[in-house]
Amino acid sequence: MAKQDRAIRTRQTILAAAAKVFEQRGYQAATISEILGTAGVTKGALYFHFESKDDLAQGVLAEQDQRMVVPRRACRTQELVDVVMLHAHRLQTDPMVRAGVRLSLDQQAHDLDRSGPFLRWGQVMDKLLHDARDRGELLPHVIPTETGEVLVGSFAGVQAMSQAVSDYQDLPDRVCALLRHVLPTVVLSSVLASIDLSRTRGALVLAELDASPETALSPGLLDRQPVA
Amino acid sequence: MAKQDRAIRTRQTILAAAAKVFEQRGYQAATISEILGTAGVTKGALYFHFESKDDLAQGVLAEQDQRMVVPRRACRTQELVDVVMLHAHRLQTDPMVRAGVRLSLDQQAHDLDRSGPFLRWGQVMDKLLHDARDRGELLPHVIPTETGEVLVGSFAGVQAMSQAVSDYQDLPDRVCALLRHVLPTVVLSSVLASIDLSRTRGALVLAELDASPETALSPGLLDRQPVA
């Protein structure tokens, strides 16, 4: 294994351990020695990649960005649905995504800047909604930035509610219900009629990405990039 | 002061102290001795009213219920808007409400049953939406329970986002935007046209309640009750 590959793997091992410890203990109570113990790496290796607990948390928060990729669709509204439903599916299945979302809602993490994921998700939604508007998919009164922020905020709460009442078991249903309540005030009904908004959409998109990772697209950045 | 009045005041003093400590420290880190110190009451007084830390937290969570009261309106959709906008206003101004909402989203409070506020808010929305349907205010496809849960979940996230990015400064604007995105898929356009959905609605409703508390109505319980 090349030196660089090994460094990337070590970094991922440390991030996975940090995600686990932050999720179990919360940001405030988590310590670097716990993360070291869970990762099974040396102190030197950890500090080579991350300066501080804050830096580790920002690393976990940023991992979400790597997972905001979906295949290109002719209809941008479908891409938006795909990004949202894929994220819901990953919340059920991917510990790193779950840790990132929980960190971003950790109210006791006073010193941690938690605005990043909200802002980055806002950018992704903003980009997709601007594209959708330019392609004539949206109702004329829609302000893409405002709609994007409503979607990001609502999603954050719907996932928190799903976690509190069902430990994420009902998440796809709740997210579908949210989209069915918001999209008709945003997109043309002719566009709505062509959209797949079923509860299994997230799992479908993930299977598609796993089968052909080269189709992945990062909507916020507008460039094609491989899935990590 | 009658003995009973004094007991009620002591209970409120303890709850206000618990709210403060839970908000600053989170449920897990908070201790009964900190709450005792903040309240300035005796151990005996505290344990007369509350058995445990869990009991104190449930007390803070339940205080939201006392504040779900709004004046009766001819239009039930307006009552729903009033309940939501009043809650947003209280989140900006009432430490007890803020503490309750934050507790219900405290992910590290593993032993605390946090589903109560979600369920109770769900009941309030459910009742209002069923009433609105019976009065012909809703679109025919609406399932009141589903719409109620979407509103409760979305609100929880929009307030968390507002707290993370602006410390609640932009909360009324965000909540208005949420309602403008959801209500058109729920209520008739002729009803929408008669609704006050302005950002100052919460403050207006609170002023109205302060001026004549006897108009207060608890939508979830259907009986008139004085505001605490």
- For B10-58, write each residue's pLDDT tens digit: 999 999 999 999 988 888 889 999 999 999 999 999 999 999 999 999 9
- Contact (CB<8Å) B174/A25: no
Contact B115 A177 (CB under 8 A): no
What CA–CA distances, in Å, run from B130 to A153, B76, B95, B208?
26, 9, 31, 25
pLDDT at residue B7 tops 80: yes
pLDDT at residue number B33: 94
Mean pLDDT, chain B, integer: 88
Q: How far is B211 from chain A (nearest CA, A)?
A: 33
Check residue A90 and give its pLDDT: 93
- Region A103-113 average pLDDT: 80
pLDDT at A206 over 90: yes
- What domains does chain B contain, in order, with CATH numbers? 3-61 (1.10.10.60), 64-217 (1.10.357.10)
Is B114–A164 a contact, with Cβ atoms under 8 angstroms apart?
yes
Q: Could you give the 3-state DSSP secondary structure of residue A175?
A: helix
**B56-92: pLDDT as tens digits:** 999 998 887 777 788 999 999 999 999 999 999 999 9
Tell me, yes or no, if A153 comes closer than 8 A to chain B by beta carbon: yes
Chain A interface includes B184 (CB < 8 A): yes
Tokens 């960190």: give the residue. A103
Q: Report the interhelical angle of A3-29 vs A32-39 (nearest 10°).
A: 140
Query: B158 at the A interface (CB within 8 A)?
Result: yes
* Element at A70 (helix H, strand E): strand A70-71
Task: Provide the b/e sequence for B160-182 (b: ≥16 CB within 10 Å).
Answer: bbbbbbeebebbbebbbbbbbbb
Q: Tens digit of pLDDT for each residue in A146-198?
A: 999 999 999 999 998 898 888 899 999 999 999 999 999 999 999 999 999 99
The residue of A27, A120, A142, A149 whose CB has the most chain B CBs within 10 angstroms, and thus the best one to mutate to test that interface, is: A149
Instruction: Tell me what pLDDT residue B165 has.
Output: 83
| Three-class SS state of A195 | coil
Examine the pLDDT at A223 and tell me if it is beyond 50. Answer: no
B177: left (phi over 0), alpha (psi -120 to 50) or beta: alpha
Mean predicted lDDT score pLDDT of chain A: 88
Task: Say if residues A156 and A121 touch (Cβ distance below 8 Å).
Answer: no
Residue type, B165: V
Q: Which residues have CB under 8 Å from A12's CB, separation 6+?
A: none
Residues from chain A contacting residue B161 (CB–CB below 8 Å): 118, 149, 152-153, 156
Provide, as residue numbers in chain B, all residues whose Cβ is less than 8 Å from the Cβ of A107: 26, 102, 105-106, 163
Q: Kindly identify which residue of chain A lies nearest to residue B27, measuring between CA atoms.
A: A108
Return d(Cα B170, Cα B164) in angstroms, integer.
Answer: 11
Residue A1 confidence (pLDDT) above 80: no
Q: How distant is the Cα of B209 from the closest Cα of chain A, in angstroms?
A: 29
The residue whose two tokens read 């006791």 is A108
pLDDT value at A222 more than 50: no
> Closest to B182 (Cβ–Cβ): which among A26, A28, A181?
A181
Residue range A198-212: average pLDDT? 93
Percent with pLDDT over 90 in chain B: 63
Q: Check B177 against A149: CB less than 8 A apart.
A: yes
Contact across the interface for A158 and B150, Cβ inside 8 Å: yes
Q: In this complex, do B164 and A28 lie within 8 Å of one another by their Cβ atoms? A: no
Residue A6 makes CB contacts below 8 A (sequence gap 6+) with: none
The ipTM is 0.82
Radius of gyration over every alpha carbon of chain A, rounded to an integer in angstroms:
18
Rounded to whole angstroms, how far apart are CA atoms B150 and B142? 12
pLDDT of residue A226: 37
pLDDT attached to residue B218: 58
Establish if B157 touches chain A: CB-CB under 8 angstroms.
yes
User: Which pLDDT belongs to residue A217?
Assistant: 65
Contacts of B157 in chain A (CB under 8 A): 153-160
Does A177 contact B at CB distance below 8 Å?
Answer: yes
Residues counted in chain A: 228
- CA-nearest residue to A30 within chain B is B108
Per-residue pLDDT tens digits for B105-116 = 787 777 788 778
Three-state DSSP class for residue B111: coil
Q: In this structure, are strands A70-71 and A216-217 parallel, antiparallel, or unpaired?
A: antiparallel
Which among B3, B33, B4, B1 is positioned nearest to B18, based on CA atoms?
A: B33
- Dist. CA A213–CA A67, nearest whole Å: 12
